[in-house]
Structure 1
Amino acid sequence: MKTTIDLSEQGNIFSDSELKNFKNKNFIYGKNGTGKSTLCELIREQKAEDFDVRIFQGFESVIGENEKLNAVVLGEENKKIQKQVDEKTENVLKAASQKNEKQNILDSLIGVEGIKKNQLLHNFEIAKSEFEQKDREISRFYKESATELTKQFNLGRSYNKNHFEMDIPNSGKLSDEEKEELTKISHENEKKQIFARSLPELKLEDYLTSTNEILHKKVKAKIVIPELENSPENQSFAEKGLQIHEKIDYCVFCGGEVTNKRRGELETYFKADEVLYLQERIEKGISKIDTAIEEIEKVELLEQGQFYSKYSVKELNQHLKDKKQEYVDFLLECKNQLEEKNKNLFEGSNLLELELPENFSAIQTDIDDLIKKNNEFTKNIENNKENSKKRLRLHFVAEKCEEAKHERLQGEKLSLEKKRDEAKKILDKEKNQIFAEKEEIEKQITAENLEIKRLQETIKNPEIIVRKINEKISKSGKHNLELKYIESEKHYQILNSNGSTRKINEISTGEKNIISFLYFIESLNSFDLDTGKPKIIIFDDPMSSNDDTMQYLIISEIEKLYKRKNLYEHFILLTHNSHFYLKVTHNRKNRRDKENAYKVDNFIRMSSDGVSTVFMYLENKDEDFKTQYGSLWKELKFLYDHDKKDFMCNTIRRIIETYMVFNGVPGNKNAESKMLFNTNSHFSEVGDLETDTNGYTREQIIDFLKQYFQQNNAEKHFNNYWKK
């Protein structure tokens, strides 16, 4: 099966529109920069659907490294997985760094020692300090005030600043009178119960009625005594004299004789039944009044000593005294009128018009209430005293608060508390946000680690392949390069001859390359990796950075590989190394069947004129070079054909230098041609490679080269390599 590769979309690199007819074996030589790797990718893109395209492009295409574990993974698929693992590991590292940043912020927000405080924490601490300072000021005021109250009220240890604070809402100032009263109550001793007392219940209206009835009465004399008629004074005097002279014959006043006749007349006048009845009634009335007055006067005033100081009896006693006096005055007035009536029994008297005093019922009620309250107070004396002390204490609390301007202090404290709480709210919000972000990062790390674990579990362990790699490396003389599988990490470590682990960064590029090369060779036999499609096996510069020993191992392995039948549909080798090219193609060019190798296999040269690459299909050995030195003459011919004069000069310089070294002849002594050949050959020179800097034609340049060989008696050598 012949395979063609479309190059049309890479016109900036290749001059040809296609690479024609890949054969079973294809050997391509091209300098670096001619597009070998681009060609490999085109083959992969265009043939992957129908072929199992296997490309070896050095260790980077096969080996994945993990410097942290000093380990490698083998295989293109494993490397892809390892790349994903590395990416996720990098994500974990970045996330861990972000987590650390978040933790640092959190530490600065919570004030971890040694971490600079966040401004939000600083703001909160200032607000908190200001609040606490004000709180301490108020607390100190409470404590000092509580101490003062304790001494003043003898409260002992039962009262402290907390009690003072709790008293403030209930505190209130007292008037001086209230203070005095409560002070007295607080010092009161328990008094005896006071028994109820009853005030007289006199119906004064009856006394007034009876008196007026008596006053209204008058009696008629049985006989007429002219000197007594219409003269109450004479009547009284005569009646008195009758009583005095009842058994005396002579008057004690005038000494005149008291005759029986006179005595008889007066007795008839004064001792008539009506007169006696009226007199008796007057006497009874006066007696009742006297009894009532006596009863009234017996009413005692309340004794203040029986009552607690809060219950003053002064006003009630005054009412009682006034009421007693009203009663006595009323009764005395009735008595006086009766006494006057007794002197004038034979004439009617004017009726009394007196205002009746109110009875004792109101005062009795007041006394009963006062006694009841006093007795109730006695029953609750201790509570009353405690309440008095409490009210006095609350008065003191109010006074202290007023002195200290407590209300203003509380207002300031409340303002500072709000400021503190707001600062804390802002701080907590920031902490919660950072913490949430940190948690989200931790979830991301957990998820990435789980995915890393999953990916690592998909990494295949090519145990048989690795055993063969170790055998081949050991046989090649490399005893410090052995692969060991680490199950826990799904990786391989590289061991020294003594079994110690070699660090990845201490393994040379050549050593990595030979491991990956051998893995690639052996993986071609793996059933696990076989897709069932015909294979295209491509080696893209497999000889990169290998020591001499490994070069021969690689050449040997490639020769074994391309000799195998039915392993592949197309074998393609691309290289820039002329020595390697000659070695690896030697057996293919020198066939035992004497057939033209260039007809059986593809030998292709990729040559660049500095702008694009041309594919040259070699048809015989004369078109190919036989040595590295010969490849320089082939390159010079290509540049000559494309009129690339500046590039020609550089290649000529390398031809002359190689000829000098191998033949021991002197260098170019022609100053003109020497300067010409060194044009654009050193990094110190800066110029446009497309600019014609020498002014010579390509024929003149070749003539300068010919002159050099003529000078060294080697014109035949020149003619042998330069055949137009």
Structure 2
Amino acid sequence: MFKKIKRIKNVAVYSDFDWDASVRESGGRISEFKGINIIYGRNYSGKTTLSRIFRSLETGFISDKYISPKFEFELSAGGVVNQDQIPLKQHKVRVFNEDFVRENLKFISNADESIKSFAILGEDNNRLEEEIKLKEEALGSEEDGVGKLGVEKEKKLALGVARKNAQDAQDSLDSKISDKANNKNTGIKHNKIYGEATYNAPKLLKDVETVLDDGFECVSDDESLNLEALLKEEVKAEIDRFYFFEPSFDKLSSRAKDLVEKKISVTQPLIELLEDNLLEDWVRKGRALHEHKRDDCGFCGGALPSGLWSKLDLHFNKESEELRISISSLLFDLQNEIKRAADVPKIDVSSFYASFRVEVLSAEVELNSTLNNYRKSLEKLGAALDARLADIFHPKVYFDVEDYSEVVVAIGEDLNGVVSKSNEFTKTLATEKNKAQKCLRLRDVFRFVMDINLGGEKAKIIALNTCSDDAEREWRESKLEVDVLVRELDKLKAQLKDESKGADRVNVYLNDFFGHKALSLKSEEVETGYKFEVVRNGVKAHHLSEGECSLIAFCYFMAKLHDVETKGHKPVIYIDDPISSLDSNHIFFIFGLINSEIVRSGEFGQLFVSTHNLDFLKYLKRLIPKDVSGKAEERRYFIIETSGDVSSIKLMPGYLKSYVTEFNYLFHQIFKCANAGDAPAESEHDCYYNYGNNARKFLEAFLYYKYPNADEKDSTKLERFFGDDSRSSLLTERIHNEYSHLAGVFERSISPVDVPEMKRSAQFILNKMKEKDADQYSAFMESIGNPVVTF
């Protein structure tokens, strides 16, 4: 509840009130509000203004007549509430003051107006109330976390967490997908290789479905390089077919075999030459240089023998020479074949598209290797022929040599096949590029799927969504239980709500507490609901007295504490001076109503009652509420004091709190005047301004009890009291007449107060009381706390 009003500023008479500086006990400790708080203040001291500050916590509005009003309440549970935080949300506040009366009981100022109606919970159906109580306990409180509302709150919080977890996981995956599709640096959309300027997240999801299909095969790294190269390709010129020589190895080999193995006969061979191939070769070559050319030897110069040429003709016969010529011819053909194999045109790999270059290069390498082997086989044939040529008269064994002709032809055909494919590829280049882009894009998507573990991400999201669905189902079931219970409660409360019962309760208070049998409220149903009217003996009442208006207004307020918005909430209740224009009996009944309906019932959180009436204050001291342990709660008594035009709240003096008589109060005011300084502080001015009235009233009561005759105008009482001290008597009488009555001497109201005269008069009165009756004087001093006397 409320601990204190820390400060009030710019609110009528509270210009700059500071609680901690003003509300202190005798030891200096700062006092605080308690469960019951009684506030005393004279008329116009600021009681209603204080009630308006409290009522702003209820209505959320404070008068616009105040300029920049500021106030701050400190709460017992911690924290503060100021003018910017009204109305108060955490506590119900109900205030009775003239503003409440003006707003709710307009008939007081206008007889044609009615009274605002309200609905209360009927008290005639204990069964319904008990059922409502049980259901409310089952419903519980969301704030306290108990009952079905507490369970629903817990389920709702769990649902929020589950939904957030599922949404966060989905958002994370969506972010990755969106980033992969659209990122300016790494997104597929901005990768020129893929040619997908309109690519987006939905297209990426379709590609994801493709790569997750069982039949999908991702291209390898090497393949991706070829595809990237393909995308760089421009349309190439048509490639001519390769025209290789037709290998003649088979024919050449057959001829070589015949010549190497051929047998020839010699007519009259020269043994030396047959046995010496070098010599025979030397002779054969020398014969060509000498026959028919010279008669002597070109080597030694000796004469050539006669018959030499005939002898040699018999050795080098026609058959051997023809064989020699045939071998030489074949050797020439072999050289031509070797040259043909060496002169195969180079392959221009750059004329092929990148996708065919590996195949072309591979064929080229194989071709070169095969042609090299082919030449070696030809050379082997040549070597066999050279060996026979060197030994022309002796046949040789022929060893078969491997023939590479078919391989050469096959490679040529393969190369021309690649040429055909390359030329054909030109026609489908655009289509192939599209295929390459798709393959590369899907390869990128596949790697993305693997990198983020898409399967695991989806499985996680499915699991989280399942948890979310389960949490939502549990929450809906819990909410359904709450809704059913709330509907049942509303139905039960609807059976109890009855605006006519509001008027009945007001009548109970009027009749039972105040005995007004004739005066009552009548409820009348209208289009907008109900209205209340005051009736006397069944007829609409007019010309109500001020006292009757006050009674009806307060009974209305007390009944309204049972309305459907207040009952059961233990509100903070502030009652401002409810006994205006009431006699002593009614004052007691007002107290009785507060005591029985509020205090003893315990249906309040904190109670504030302010009054200017000392009789009512006397009754209020009997308000003793008890807490749940049965221990009487502590009360606090406060007084509102005015100095000039500024008011402040202080702790009530002991004599006023303990004795509750104006007699003690007046004595205290005289004592304060007698002990004030010659140049009084501003806080002491009011004791001088009010001294005339205070002293007159005190002496009238004091002298009546001391000299109890029936003559109120007996002027000898003052003289008898002061005795021989006529000076004190005359001074006191003068101050009474001049400062407590302004009629006929208006100038006195605008003249400065004569402080020394008043101070001397107050001292005369106190000294004479002490002299006449020391025991009574001592009792008075004790009632005001035995302050120090300074005169």
Q: Same fold (TM over 0.5)?
A: no
Q: Which has the higher contact order (CA 8 A, sep 6+)?
A: 1
Select the structure of larger CA radius of gyration: 1
TM-score (norm. length: structure 1): 0.39
